[in-house]
Amino acid sequence: MNTNNTLITLEGITKVFYTDEVETHALAGVHLQVKRAEYVCIAGPSGCGKSTLLSILGLLDTPTEGRYMLNGQPVASLGHAARARIRNREVGFIFQSFNLIGDLTVYENVELPLTYRGLNATVRKQRAHEALEKVGMSHRMKHYPSQLSGGQQQRVAVARALAGKPSILLADEPTGNLDSKNGEAVMELLRALHREGATICMVTHDPRFARHAERTVHLFDGRIVEEVMSEE
């Protein structure tokens, strides 16, 4: 177990994609640390490597080179099954497209990932209820995604991520499919979770939302070119 305050350490992370004898360097020597209870934003133009970096942070992908420590554990070169196991326990994902399952209720959507953890029904129920309460959606527990607005669906997606009590929340353009009012509401929810101690790493191209974070890491052509601390 990691005893210091650093949750994530990336050292020299490089990601190269090979297609038809063409090398695409998505990430080129990225060094990054994320502390516990920190709110970090990854920003930059389209194609700069933001989503690739988030995929590596979330153990959805592996780096071509470099070292990745998560919670004091080296995870860069783990196999598929080990990555999936750690991802399920340590990482909560919030995607642009809410990725809710249409024929499951709100409650079932939040509970489902917990079944993969082998948690018993009582614990699953308690965690799902707590998470939905936290995002203000417990009154819609028996509804289906199609009966909810976009903003409400994203709140359910946040609850699903929270229910697993992850070490870090990874948010990939979480307001991308929402109008400005719902987008602001979701950002305020993330801020509230951060105030309660959540560690959040968010990808966005929208400077209005980047300012919500404590620190913004600017990527360009697969490299970190600037880090800016929030003035708020």
pLDDT in tens, 26-58: 999 999 999 999 999 999 888 889 989 999 999
Number of H helices, E strands in the chain: 7, 10
Residue ranges of E strands in 82-167: 91-94
Residue 16 Ramachandran class (φ > 0 left, ψ -120 to 50 alpha, else beta): beta
For residue 142, the model assigns a pLDDT of: 96
Q: Which amino acid, residue 161?
A: A
Contact (CB, 8 A) for 5 and 36: yes
pLDDT in tens, 152-195: 999 999 999 999 889 999 999 998 888 888 888 889 899 999 99
Second CATH level (architecture) for the domain 38-63+77-229 = 3-Layer(aba) Sandwich (3.40)
For residue 230, the model assigns a pLDDT of: 79
Q: Which residues contact 187 (CB under 8 A, 6 or more apart)?
A: 174, 175, 209, 212
Q: Which helix (H) or strand (E) holds 191?
A: helix 180-195
**C-alpha torsion angle, residues 116, 119, 121, 125 (rounded to 10):** -90
Instruction: Give me the phi and psi of 22, to 5 degrees please.
Output: -105, 130
Rg (CA), the chain: 18
Name the token pair of 136: 């203000």
Predicted confidence band of residue 117 (pLDDT cuts 50, 70, 90): confident
Cα–Cα distances in angstroms (integers) from residue 127 to residues 54, 86, 163, in the given order: 26, 19, 5
Burial 14-27 (b: 16+ CB within 10 A, else e): ebeeeeeeeeeebb
For the chain, which residues make up each domain, given as ranges? 38-63+77-229
Specify the range with the lowest mean pLDDT, choosing from 18-22, 25-29, 120-124, 212-216: 18-22
